[in-house]
Amino acid sequence: MTLRIRPATPADATLIATLIRELAEYEKLLDECHATPENIRQSLFGGNPHAECVIAELQGAPVGFALFFHNYSTFLAKPGLYLEDLFVRPAARGQGVGKALLAHLAQFALESGCGRFEWSVLNWNAPAIAFYESLGAKPQKEWTIYRMTGDALTQLADQAAA
């Protein structure tokens, strides 16, 4: 088995959009997925990239991806690495692809001077939770994630203009 992790390129925009849609379907969130090759190309590879992506290949075939970006820890006074999405196609699961993607990003985080590497997982995704905990990751139960989108985001932003 030949496993390769490589940085994504603009030529991968269609592949990345496809993998994101496969992830959204697995997470039962396909109706919320608006990823297209065009907006992936712009947001990852345009003039002001907002995130980075690596592709996992088995025997030369793409089987997964990890999409990530830097954040910042004020308490550590260091950058952090935030994994937005990790996905391995079902046929490639159990072959070390997910672990290889996470190890690749852990190495990247350390090389980049990051003080932490973190991500979120859906509460119902027991296989992912067990996998992450088997690697030594710890849930942060004292934190609650808040999200603002759509009309609520627009309404709050409108208050800045007032």
What is the CATH classification number for the domain harbouring 96?
3.40.630.30
Over residues 98-128, the pLDDT tens digits come to 999 999 999 999 999 999 999 999 999 999 9
Closest CA to 85 of 60, 68, 69, 109: 68
The pLDDT, as a whole number, for residue 162 is 73
Residue 89: pLDDT above 80? yes
The pLDDT, as a whole number, for residue 153 is 93
What span, in angstroms and rounded, lies between the C-alpha atoms of 86 and 131? 12
Determine the average pLDDT of the residues in 24-29. 94
Contact by Cβ (8 Å): 88, 38: no
Residue 161: pLDDT above 90? no
The pLDDT, as a whole number, for residue 107 is 98
The pLDDT, as a whole number, for residue 1 is 75
Which residues are known to be catalytic? Answer: 132
What domain range is 112 assigned to? 3-161
What is the number of structural domains in the chain?
1
pTM of the predicted model as reported, rounded to 2 decimal places:
0.92
Instruction: Please enumerate in sequence order all residues whose Cβ is within 8 A of that of 9, keeping only pairs 6 or more positions apart, or say none.
Output: 45
Over the chain, what is the mean pLDDT?
96
Rounded to 10°, the helix 37-45/13-26 angle is 110
